[in-house]
Structure 1
Amino acid sequence: MLHETYQLIDPGVLGQVTGWLSEAEHVCFFGVGASSASAMEAKNRFLRVTPKVECTLDARMQLMRAALMSSRDVAILFSYSGATKETLAIAKAVKETGARTVCISRFSHSPLAELCDCLFLCGGNESALQSGNLSVKPSQLFLMEVLYLSYCCQNYDISLENRAITSATLSEMMD
C-alpha cells in the first residue's frame, strides 16, 4: 500500500503544494468520519514546525472555518472516496473563498478531486466491510509525512528553530 502510494506521488504537484503551504497565512486540514483522524494527525505533525495550521473534528465547525478562509490560505481535504457529502460541502465553501485546495483521496475522478486544485492519490483498497476502518490510514499519513518533510526542507531554518522550541517546551513537562 505504501509503495503504491509512493509511486502515485507527482513530484511537480508535491513541489507546488509545498510552495503553497510555505506562502499560506493559514493551512486548514479537513476530514470527516474516519478521515478526521488523518486530518488531526496532519495538524499535530505540522504544529511542531509552524503555528499556522488548524483542524477541528466537528463537521459543522469545519464548514464554518472553510467559509472564513481567504485566498491567502490552503485547505487540505482528506476523503478516501472523494464523495463524502460533508467533505464536498466543505470543499465548495473553501472554493468560494478563493483559497487553494488539495485533496488526498483514492480516486482521481471523484467529485472532490474535481473540485480541488491539486490531488494526492493514496494507495490501498477498502472493501465495503472495511469502510471507515484504519486500512487506508497508513497511505494518507504517509502522504502527509512526505508533504511535512518537503515543507521542512523548503523552510529548513525556521522549521528547525520551531521544532527545537516545541520539543523543549514539551520536554519541560516531562521533567
Structure 2
Amino acid sequence: MSIQSTIEAAASTLPPSLSRIAAAIRENPSIVIDMTINELAQECRTSVASVVRFCRAIGFAGYAALRMALATELGKEAAQFSARGAFGSEISDEDTLQEAVSKLAALELLAIEETVARLDFGVLEAAITAIDGADRILLYGIGASQFVAEDLAHKLLRVGRNAHVLADPHEAVAATVLQTAPTVAIGFSHSGATIETVRFLETARRHGAATIAVTSAKDSPLARAADHALFTEVRESTFRAGAMVSRIAQLTLVDCLFVGVAKRRFHETVDALRRTHEAMQELRD
C-alpha cells in the first residue's frame, strides 16, 4: 500500500492536530521532502511531537523514515505518471484539459492497481461465501456509494439472486430487522464513518445477518461492524464531486465479488445471463 493511500485512508480517524498534517501532505506530498520536521510542524500549526505521532500512526518510526520512503514513492510515481502522459498525480489550475484528464485517469488506474494488490483474498472468499449462501442480499450506501450498491444489485439480479438496494435509512434498518431467510447485508462508504450505513450494518449484525463492508478506512466504525471488510486504496483528486477515484475502486471490488459469486454456480450463471440478454434484446429490436 502506498504512503499517500495510507494517509488518505487514515485521515478521517486522526485527531485534529494529526489531521492537519495529513491534509497538508495530501495536498502537497513533496512538502515532506522540502521541509524539516520543525518547519512542517510550524506549517501545520502543531508540534514536533505531533508530527512524530503522525508518522507512527501511519506506520513509520519517525519523520526521517517517512521522508525517505515518501521520496522513493514520489520518484517512482513521477516515472509512472509520466509514462501515462500524466505529469504528477494532482490536478492544478495550470493544467490543460488533456493533462487534467490524463492525471485523473492515472489516479483511477493507480486506485485499481493498489486495491487489487492489497486485496485480502481470504476475506474476499469469505464474503463471496456469505453472499452465495444468502437467500436475501441487502445493499446500502449514500450518495456515490449508493450508485455502487445499485451496480452490484443489478449484476446479482441478472443471475437470479435476490438483491435489494435500500434507498432510505429507515427502510434500510427496518429491512435488517425483518429477516425471514438467511440474509447478508453489504454497506458501502468510502470514509467508513457514514452514520446511516454504519447503523445499517450494526443492526443487521445484531439480528443475525452476515455483514460485509466496502470502505477505504480500516479503523472505522463500518469496518468494525462487518464480519468481512474489503478495503479500497485510493487518493481522491482535488475535484471530487461526491466521489470519483474512490467510486472506481469500489466498483473494482464489486466486480470481484460478482465474479466470485458467479463462479460458484458457473453454468447457472451463464444460462441466466444468456436468458436475460435474450429477454432484453426483444426490447431493443
Query: Normalising by structure 2, what TM-score?
Result: 0.58
* Distance 1:63-1:127 versus aligned 2 partners, 3 A rule: farther
Equivalent residue pairs, number: 175
Match of residue 154 from structure 2 = 44
1:56-67 maps to which residues of 2 (within 5 A)? 56-67=166-177
CA offset at residue 56 of structure 1? Answer: 2.5
Counterpart code for 2:154: N
**Take 2:137 and 2:239, find their aligned partners in 1: how far apart are those partners?**
33
SS of corresponding position for 1:47: helix
**Take 2:147 and 2:242, find their aligned partners in 1: how far apart are those partners?**
11
**Take 2:161 and 2:253, find their aligned partners in 1: how far apart are those partners?**
20
CA offset at residue 71 of structure 1? Answer: 6.8
1:96-135 maps to which residues of 2 (within 5 A)? 96-126=206-236, 130=240, 132-135=242-245
Larger Rg, first or second structure (1 or 2): 2
Counterpart code for 1:146: C
**Take 1:131 and 1:81, find their aligned partners in 2: how far apart are those partners?**
15
1:9 aligns with 2:119: yes
* Distance 1:168-1:84 versus aligned 2 partners, 3 A rule: same
Percentage of pairs with the same residue:
26
CA offset at residue 52 of structure 1? Answer: 1.1
SS of corresponding position for 1:130: coil
**Take 2:180 and 2:212, find their aligned partners in 1: how far apart are those partners?**
15
Match of residue 145 from structure 1 = 255
Q: Which moves more between the two structures, 105-114 or 121-130? A: 121-130
Match of residue 195 from structure 2 = 85
**Take 1:107 and 1:71, find their aligned partners in 2: how far apart are those partners?**
30
Q: Deviation digits for residues 77-131 of structure 1, max 9, x if unmatched?
A: 1000111111111112101211000000001110110111011001112378637
> Residue 136 of structure 2 contacts residue 163 of structure 2 at CA under 8 Å; is this kept in 1?
yes
* Distance 1:127-1:69 versus aligned 2 partners, 3 A rule: farther
Q: Which moves more between the two structures, 69-78 or 8-17? A: 69-78
Q: Deviation digits for residues 110-165 of structure 1, max 9, x if unmatched?
A: 01101110110011123786372222111000101011111111110111111111
Q: Deviation digits for residues 22-68 of structure 1, max 9, x if unmatched?
A: 11111111111221111111111211112311112222222222222
The gaps in structure 2 that reach 5 residues or longer are 1-110
The gaps in structure 1 that reach 5 residues or longer are none
Query: Normalising by structure 1, what TM-score?
Result: 0.92
> Residue 70 of structure 1 contacts residue 99 of structure 1 at CA under 8 Å; is this kept in 2?
no
> Residue 140 of structure 2 contacts residue 188 of structure 2 at CA under 8 Å; is this kept in 1?
yes
> Residue 77 of structure 1 contacts residue 87 of structure 1 at CA under 8 Å; is this kept in 2?
yes
**Take 2:179 and 2:234, find their aligned partners in 1: how far apart are those partners?**
31
Q: Work out which structure has the larger RCO, using CA pairs closer than 8 Å and 6 or more positions apart in sequence.
A: 1
